[in-house]
Chain A
Amino acid sequence: MEELFERLAFSVKEVTGFIYPNEIELHWSILIVVYPYLTGLVAGAFILASLERVFNVKEVEPTYRLSLLTALAFLIVAPLPLVAHLGHPERAFEIFLTPNFRSAMAMFGFVYAWYLLVVLLVELWFEYRKDIVVWSKKEKGLKKVIYLILTLGASDLSEKSIQFDKKAGKLITIIGIPSAFLLHGYVGFIFGSVKANPWWSSVLMPVVFLFSAIVSGIALMILLYMVITLFRRKPVDMSCMDKLASFLLYAMILDFSLENLDFIHRIYESEESIKILYQLLISKLFISMVVIQILLGTIVPMVFLAWTKLARLPDELRRLIYFGSAILTLIGIFSIRWNVVIGGQLFSKSLRGLTTYKMELLGIEGLLVALLFLVLPFIILYILVALFPPWKEAEVELEA
């Protein structure tokens, strides 16, 4: 109890203007920042994978399987921040057992289950089935058992069967694109539909979330592909990198335009909340929004990426720019999530005062747990990559 008072006493000193008592401490912590960040990376990575399969962008093929595995690794972790924040993980299944169709939050379980079970796992299964069947015959010990279970008994490797896998995979990718839009659009919808909060309540929110998700997904894949290639001591496929960087630039331009449209719309509307939102922007969110999100996370990478398009730069320099831009973009998108989630709770509903967010270090809602949820997908990805190597040379070639 004393610790609670101490924390409250600290926050009270940071309050400016008038604020209601229950608004001094924030209810949604950094874990709720991590949650949309992770789902955004899932949706972005999947949409990138669909480029190769549905839109026939052959240059990005080296990242196709890796994108799917990355989407799966991040999707497995995506609901964990929510469960940790809410507590009582044993109750999490209630949303499936007694579905409430009138609650947007309760519907997340179904959006998630659809995306995991019907889209991602099935697509990966069709993509890897041929390889899994061959591995189940070649490998030994535990690996053999795992592969055998994963074949689900479907061991037919005839030409007709392989062709069917490809067709089915393409069909699921086509279903997957709107599903990925739904998954992350849904997260934006949750915030956009909070009509009592002027920082969140905007119909553009799901669209802005979606495009920022695509941006973060592409940036993550650029980063992962470069790092993994480095560790594998293989040459980086520059045509793939150039294509990924182009898509990153286009997605960023769209995302930045939409965000600006949202801002201009708010400024032009100038509702009664505009003064406190302006105060919020120039005080509490100045570093995270103006400096990190807009300047470092958007404008700097956009300028550098545009430079690689306009000038003929050597491969080495281009790789360096892509690498730096991807890191800056990922930090920028994280600050978007931070500014939405934390920023939306920093001002009073009376529109007359601001509070502050004091992050814990060790608690269940603290920084270390958030970092764990950000690192966990990479550990899962490591295991997935070990089980299902996504490289071209690891793919099984069937004898004619």
Chain B
Amino acid sequence: MPQQIKYLFGLAVVLVFIFLIVRHYLVSPSFGQYGHYRAASLQTVVSQEIKYGGEIACTECHEDILTLKNKSYHRGVACEVCHSAAYAHTQDPYEHKPPAPRTRAYCPLCHGYNPTRPTGFPQIDPVRHNPAKPCISCHNPHDPTPPVTPKECEPCHTEIARTKILSPHAPLPCTQCHEAKEEHKLNPRVALPSKPRNREFCGQCHSQEAESPPKILQAESPPEIPRVDMKSHYSGFLCWECHYPHYPEARLKKEEETE
């Protein structure tokens, strides 16, 4: 064996040996006992102060509230989300009272309008929605469906409402195109509202034969409505394949305007 290999190999053996000794002293004996962590750390974690009581503990005394909440839209929200960590309360209910948020600032943390929240999730604009009135005066937090359901669509479909208000369709009420039963306000995903199904629906206002101005527009000076020949205008397609109904971009071409 060449001299270089002998010495190099010797050095490698020494390095590995040093590494193993260092590892032996620096790695806790309980490391890897249950997984890729120090098993003794479990004891450290267990010895920490407990702060959360857990929902089961709440059931023992507040079963009526839990029953109500579990049937409501807040069934997925744990008690301690609003009432904060309540282990101390479970140990001594009279000494430690968990807080109950009653101000308007609290509920919009989840229900304030935010464009990234899913469509259909109840969202309000805290400035415009019943100003200065505490949320709990209309909504019971344990069963938050309001006694009087929303008259308008905006509270739940805020993103669409805010898009539509900037579009030429702003004067149209939602019910112009969607038929929504009362049940939809209570069970939005069970009783779905209707949607237009054919070209003729849009043609009521946008075909050349449509009355001018259409009766549905109550405004005194209705805007000029773009009209097309429904027979020749992309006859194989549905209108909403090209135009987004909540923000229709169609405008008269310049040359047509000048005519």
Contacts and interface: CB of A to CB of B under 8 A. Distances in A.
Given A97-B23, A98-B36, A152 B7 contact: yes
A161 interface: yes
Given A98-B27, A129-B4, A152 B116 contact: no
A153 interface: yes
A122 B8 CA distance: 9
A380 interface: no
A164 B26 contact: no
Contacts of A360: none
B211 to A, nearest CB: 39
B116 A161 contact: no
B191 interface: no
A352 B115 contact: yes
A161 B15 CA distance: 24
Contact of B116 (A122, A125, A350): A350
B31 A98 contact: yes
A154 B115 contact: no
A168 B4 contact: yes
Nearest to B22: A97
B232 interface: no
A164 B4 contact: yes
Interface in B1-36: 2-4, 6-8, 11, 15, 19, 22-23, 26-27, 31-32, 36
A131 to B, nearest CB: 14
A126 interface: yes
A129 B22 CA distance: 30
A122 B15 CA distance: 14
A131 B257 CA distance: 88
A18 B36 contact: no
A153 B7 contact: yes
A195 B6 CA distance: 47
Contacts of A165: 4
Contacts of A20: 116
Contacts of A97: 22-23, 26-27
A100 interface: yes
Interface residues of A, number: 25
Given A18-B116, A350-B116, A352-B116, A154 B4 contact: yes
A336 to B, nearest CB: 31
A156 interface: yes
Nearest to B114: A18
Nearest to B4: A154
A97 B18 CA distance: 12
Interface string A158-181: 001100110010000000000000
A155 B2 CA distance: 11
A126 B4 CA distance: 9
Contact of B4 (A161, A350, A352): A161
Interface string B55-98: 00000000000000000000000000000000000000000000
A33 to B, nearest CB: 29
Nearest to A101: B36
Nearest to B6: A154
A129 B6 CA distance: 14
Contacts of B15: 117
A368 B15 CA distance: 36
Nearest to A96: B19
A161 B7 contact: no
A199 to B, nearest CB: 19
Contacts of B32: 98
Contact of B3 (A96, A98, A117, A154): A154
Contacts of A350: 115-116
B27 A152 contact: no
B40 to A, nearest CB: 14
A93 B11 CA distance: 21
Given A152-B7, A152-B11, A352-B116, A161 B27 contact: no
A18 B11 contact: no
Nearest to B24: A97
B17 to A, nearest CB: 15
A330 to B, nearest CB: 35
A389 to B, nearest CB: 22
A365 B11 CA distance: 38
A160 B27 CA distance: 45
Contacts of A125: 8
B116 A154 contact: no
Contacts of B115: 18, 350, 352
Nearest to A152: B7
Contacts of B8: 122, 125, 152, 154
B214 to A, nearest CB: 35
5 residue pairs, one from A and one from B, having the closest CB atoms: A152-B7, A156-B3, A154-B7, A350-B116, A154-B4
Interface of B: 2-4, 6-8, 11, 15, 19, 22-23, 26-27, 31-32, 36, 114-116
Interface of A: 18, 20, 93, 96-98, 100, 102, 117, 122, 125-126, 129, 152-156, 160-161, 164-165, 168, 350, 352
25 contacts: A20-B116, A96-B19, A97-B22, A97-B26, A97-B27, A98-B31, A98-B32, A100-B36, A117-B15, A125-B8, A126-B4, A152-B7, A152-B11, A154-B3, A154-B4, A154-B7, A155-B3, A156-B2, A156-B4, A160-B2, A161-B2, A165-B4, A168-B4, A352-B115, A352-B116
Given A20-B116, A97-B27, 12 more contacts: A18-B115, A18-B116, A96-B19, A97-B22, A98-B27, A153-B7, A154-B3, A156-B3, A164-B2, A350-B115, A350-B116, A352-B116
